[in-house]
Amino acid sequence: MSLHSVRTAPPWVAPWVVVGVGCTLIGVALYNFAREIRILDTLWPPVVAVALSVGLAGGLVAAGLRLRESNLRPVALWRVAGWSLGGSAFLVLVSVLTIAIRLAEGRVVDEAVLDLLVSSAAGGLAGYLIGMNTVRADHEAADARQARDALAFLNRLLRHELLNGTNVIHGYAAQLDDAVPDAEADRLDAILARSEDLADLVRTMQPAARTFTADGSLDAVDLSSVLDRRIETIRRTYPHADVTADVPSEVYVRANDALAYIVHNLLANAVEHNDSDAPHVDVAVDVRGDTVRVDVADDGPGVADDRKEEIFRTKTHTERGFGLYLVRTLITRYGGEVWVEDNEPRGSVFVVELPRVATKPSSDP
């Protein structure tokens, strides 16, 4: 049957082909059973034989009926039916070749009907299962490709619109620099810093998205530079917060540009979820052989022991929860780890460990 005729064939044809093969095998099995009980002196072997062959053929009939109730397209229906018929034909061919070899060796083959019945029905069932799994796998792969393309388009669209919007906000805010009284200068500075920060974060979304795909590459990233820039942004965005840091120069880790999002998320959380009037955040970097440890400590309410793992999971339906889930996912892709500890006397410490890159890259990303 040509591809065009398969696409235009009624969708009910393919399932009934499978059902028809199964019914035919049942009929042959019953005929063979009736013949054997007339010529054999014992009853139970023919009963077992007919039960086996009818059971397998009945399974093939059930498979065809189930295929009929499925919502597969006509082409997919014919693919499954083709797999079923092909499996049946293949095992029958194997049985025929086996019988032919025995005959060529001079052996006597008295009865081969049972072998052929069982082979045909078992092959049809096996082919049906393989065909269904193949069709479903192809369907899921197609859905995944469509979803990936849609998300890629949405990602580009959102980044474009958000980047344009933040640039407009920053531009208008910069024009007000001379017109704003000194008493309000801190607020304007926070607007400028936050708009710059948002624009920078939008730019990191592309490498963050690529981290989850096969083409996402990792390189040596200057962790010190990323921390310095993000800490300065947090200070400008949250002037009421006290942010201290002990960051050695030129500490390189295996990551990509999405590292900026990780650092920003941890620093912003330390301030935004702090219940103090003047939040204090302390950042420390410790180089330990092949790893680099970053501690982001705060004096906020802390994290309860029963939530220290939960906050990194997707089921935490809050902005912070999703952000921390993305943080852990990115760090895991980098080959690192992240966890939370208690701070003394109050607060929490978010700890990040990343693989260290000892040599400086030829060009910074």
Structure confidence at residue 71 as a pLDDT band (50, 70, 90): confident
Give me the pLDDT at residue 279, please: 93
Question: What distance in Å separates the CA atoms of residue 296 and residue 18, rounded to the nearest whole number?
Answer: 64
Find the angle CA(39)-CA(42)-CA(45) to the nearest 5 degrees.
100
Give me the pLDDT at residue 206, please: 63
Give me the pLDDT at residue 211, please: 63
What are the phi and psi torsion angles at 280 (to 5°)?
A: -120, 130
Cβ contacts of 111 within 8 Å, gap of 6 or more? none
Question: What pLDDT digit, counting tens, does each position of 159-176 carry?
Answer: 666 767 777 777 777 777
Domains of the chain, by residue range, sit at 3-149, 220-355
Is the confidence at residue 303, as pLDDT, over 80? yes
Structure confidence at residue 325 as a pLDDT band (50, 70, 90): confident
Two tokens, residue 231: 């800490």
Q: What is the 3-state secondary structure of 117-178?
A: HHHHHHHHHHHHHHHHHHHHHHHHHHHHHHHHHHHHHHHHHHHHHHHHHHHHHHHHHHHCCC
Calculate what percentage of the chain has a pLDDT beyond 90.
Answer: 37
Is the confidence at residue 7, as pLDDT, over 50? no
Q: Which CATH architecture has domain 220-355?
A: 2-Layer Sandwich (3.30)
CB 365 within 8 A of CB 256: yes
- pTM of this structure: 0.52
For residues 122-150, one letter each, b for 16 or more C-beta atoms within 10 angstroms of the residue's C-beta and e for the rest, the string is bbbbbbbeebbeebeeeeeeeeeeeeeee
Find the mean pLDDT for residues 14-28: 91
DSSP string for 302-348 = ---GGGTTGGGSTT--SHHHHHHHHHHHHHHHHT-EEEEEE-SSSSE
Give me the pLDDT at residue 152, please: 64
Give me the pLDDT at residue 349, please: 96
| Three-class SS state of 288 | strand
Question: What distance in Å separates the CA atoms of residue 345 and residue 243, rounded to the nearest whole number?
Answer: 18
Structure confidence at residue 317 as a pLDDT band (50, 70, 90): very low
Is the confidence at residue 362, as pLDDT, over 70? no
Using the structure block, give the residue that is written with the tokens 């054997």.
Answer: 36
First to last CA, the chain: 56
Give me the pLDDT at residue 113, please: 84
Calculate what percentage of the chain has a pLDDT beyond 70.
Answer: 81
Name which of 179, 256, 263, 265 is nearest 221 in CA terms: 256
Structure confidence at residue 1 as a pLDDT band (50, 70, 90): very low
